């Protein structure tokens, strides 16, 4: 049995996969697939020629190249918010170039977040493999890529709602200060709702319902909806927010119905395999993947775990209820002890020496964050490239960021790291229009990422 099949089996026995009855329903709607609907071979050829002629990155606008309209509600992409989501036009483009993948090939995203690449892979009739260190990201991506029929969801929803009893509460975990973020009423409603979800569903339906529950959590909290990390609203904004806050169960029903309609647009029977850490070694006998598309994390630019902390708290996704434990797996994390970063170190990349020294003169912690990031990205690149089959392609979507007022050329460094693992650069594109929510204007230490580099490598 190959790794793909074995992993699917392992997750079934862990209870996160469906019983056959969950997916094999009679009178199910015809599946809506868009494999063969898209083909970008001619566009790719034109970009390739321009790149070969100029020898430098070619400017491209993926929103024009793949015209979908803005904020498009395509399949399950809008199931749940997530920081720094990749513009879906990018994987849609590359997966549907016959040079890079064919139906049934395995498409891998080692930093899969909320599953943008995995969703596009499945829509194009490919198999989907992911990895993410954030358990909430894995839950969302699993729910978005595991097909469940609408009538199964509708029956489960009726059961959940009719069994809600405010006396039955799920014990609350201690990762977040519950009372700082939720009113007493909301705590009671969410506690009873989660109790009913956990006691009335299993397998795929449980994952779907928990992901929908999570999609409601931030909305029901008193945190600023414009920010990805929880920041408590104050004064008038707080009063207005509380006044307009929806009833928890009503919101949950709405979210379930909308997401059920989205999931119905995924191929019937589709599923994905999602690992925990991109640095995870390839198991013996694992199959090699055909195409990798990924947008890696940045050094200190996004707080994925903190952004997910309200949901992680409710769903009890942190080991021993400690967020710090989860953060340790995150490449680009920010928390280190002073003893970690006092020593002098030799940077992994000679080209990074100068910028790391400049950052260190302003803030030694930030320099350590950036240096650790490069080392951990190097470990990840070893594991990621080892999964790619010979002559397979890897598409990296990465920009640059500011650290302590200095430009940190992440794209250049990450390109150098991946190129050192037996890959040749096949194509380089630059998209000037910011394609995802990477804006982290945080005072002097971090800045916006202005443009995105899309680098296509081929394994030698």
Ligand X SMILES: C[S@@+](CC[C@H](N)C(=O)[O-])C[C@H]1O[C@@H](n2cnc3c(N)ncnc32)[C@H](O)[C@@H]1O
Q: Which residues bind ligand X (CB under 6 A)?
A: 82, 84-86, 111, 113-114, 116, 131-134, 137, 277-279, 295, 297, 304, 329-331
Minimum CB separation of residue 443 from ligand X in Å reads 21
- In the bound complex, what is the minimum distance in angstroms from residue 277's beta carbon to ligand X? 4
**Phi and psi for 251 in degrees, rounded to 5?**
-65, -45
> For ligand X, which is the closer residue by CB, 18 or 399?
399
C-alpha distances in Å from residue 275, one per residue of 142, 235, 266: 11, 43, 21
Distances (CA, A) of 334 to 324, 328, 405: 10, 9, 17
CB nearer ligand X, residue 85 or residue 366: 85
Distance of CA 179 to the CA centre of its chain: 28
Reference 251, options 322, 323, 161, 340; nearest CA is: 161
H or E element at residue 398: strand 388-399
Q: How many CB atoms lie within 10 A of CB 362?
A: 14
The CB-of-110 to ligand X minimum distance in angstroms stands at 6
**Distance between CA 309 and CA 39 in Å, rounded?**
40
- Number of C-beta neighbours around residue 26 at 10 A: 6
Of all residues in the shown chain, the one whose CB is closest to ligand X is 113
Cα–Cα separations (whole angstroms), residue 102 to 27, 107, 127, 374: 30, 10, 10, 33
Of residues 279 and 360, the one with the C-beta less far from ligand X: 279
The enclosing H or E element of 162 equals helix 150-162
Q: Among residues 113 and 313, whose Cβ is nearest to ligand X?
A: 113
What CA–CA distance (Å, rounded) separates 324 from 319?
9
Give Cα separations from 384 to 11, 26, 86, 111, 331 (angstroms): 21, 40, 19, 10, 14
- Smaller CB distance to ligand X: residue 189 or 435? 435
User: 139 vs 248, which CB is nearer to ligand X?
Assistant: 139
Pairing of strands 388-399, 401-403: unpaired
Q: Which is nearer to ligand X, 278 or 356 (CB)?
A: 278
| Angle, vertex CA 75, rays to CA 70 and CA 81, nearest 5 | 65
| SS3 of 150-161 | HHHHHHHHHHHH
Find the shortest distance in angstroms from Cβ 86 to ligand X. Answer: 4
Q: Least Å distance between CB 98 and ligand X?
A: 23
* Sign of the CA dihedral running 44, 45, 50, 56: positive
**Residue with smaller CB distance to ligand X, 116 or 223:** 116
Residue whose CB is less far from ligand X, 224 or 277:
277
Shortest distance, CB of residue 40 to ligand X, whole angstroms?
Answer: 19
Smallest gap from residue 278 Cβ to ligand X (A):
4
Smallest separation (angstroms) from ligand X to the CB of 168: 33
Q: How far is the CB of 72 from ligand X (least distance, A)?
A: 14
């Amino acid at each position: 049995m190959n790794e793909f099949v074995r992993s699917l089996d392992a997750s079934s026995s862990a209870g996160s996969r469906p019983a056959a009855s969950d997916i094999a329903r009679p009178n199910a709607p015809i599946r809506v697939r868009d494999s063969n609907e898209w083909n970008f071979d001619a566009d790719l050829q034109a970009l390739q020629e321009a790149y070969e002629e100029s020898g430098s990155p070619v400017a491209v606008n993926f929103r024009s190249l793949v015209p979908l309209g803005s904020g498009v509600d395509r399949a399950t992409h809008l199931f749940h918010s997530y920081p720094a989501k990749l513009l879906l036009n990018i994987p849609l483009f590359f997966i549907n170039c016959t040079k890079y993948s064919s139906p049934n090939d395995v498409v891998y995203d080692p930093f899969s977040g909320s599953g943008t690449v995995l969703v596009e892979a499945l829509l194009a009739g490919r198999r989907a493999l992911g990895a993410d260190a954030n358990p909430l990201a894995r839950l969302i991506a699993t729910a978005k890529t595991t097909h469940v029929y609408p009538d199964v969801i509708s029956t489960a929803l009726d059961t959940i709602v009719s069994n809600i009893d405010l006396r039955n509460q799920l014990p609350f975990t201690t990762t977040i200060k519950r009372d700082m973020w939720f009113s007493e009423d909301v705590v009671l409603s969410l506690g009873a709702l989660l109790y009913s979800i956990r006691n009335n569903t299993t397998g795929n339906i449980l994952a779907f319902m928990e992901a929908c529950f999570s999609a409601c959590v931030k909305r029901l909290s008193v945190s600023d909806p414009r920010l990805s990390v929880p920041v408590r609203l104050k004064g008038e904004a707080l009063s207005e927010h509380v006044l307009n806050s929806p009833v928890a169960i009503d919101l949950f029903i709405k979210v379930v119905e909308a997401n059920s309609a989205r999931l119905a647009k995924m191929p019937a029977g589709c599923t994905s395999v999602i690992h925990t850490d991109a640095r995870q070694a390839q198991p013996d006998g694992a199959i090699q993947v055909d195409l990798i598309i990924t947008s890696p994390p940045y050094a200190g630019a996004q707080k994925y775990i903190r952004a997910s902390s309200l949901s992680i708290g409710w769903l009890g996704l942190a080991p021993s209820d400690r967020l710090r434990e989860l953060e340790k797996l995150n490449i680009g994390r920010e928390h280190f002890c002073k003893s970690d970063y006092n020593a002098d170190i030799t940077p992994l990349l000679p080209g990074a020496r100068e910028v790391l020294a400049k950052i260190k003169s302003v803030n030694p912690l930030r320099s350590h964050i950036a240096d650790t990031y490069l080392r951990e990205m190097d470990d990840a690149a070893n594991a990621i490239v080892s999964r790619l089959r010979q002559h397979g392609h890897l598409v990296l979507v990465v920009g640059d960021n500011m650290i302590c007022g200095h430009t940190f050329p992440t794209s250049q460094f990450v390109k150098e790291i991946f190129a050192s693992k037996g890959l040749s650069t096949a194509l380089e594109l630059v998209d000037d229009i910011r394609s995802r929510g990477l804006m982290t204007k945080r005072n002097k230490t971090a800045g916006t990422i202005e443009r995105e580099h899309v680098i296509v490598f081929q394994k030698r």
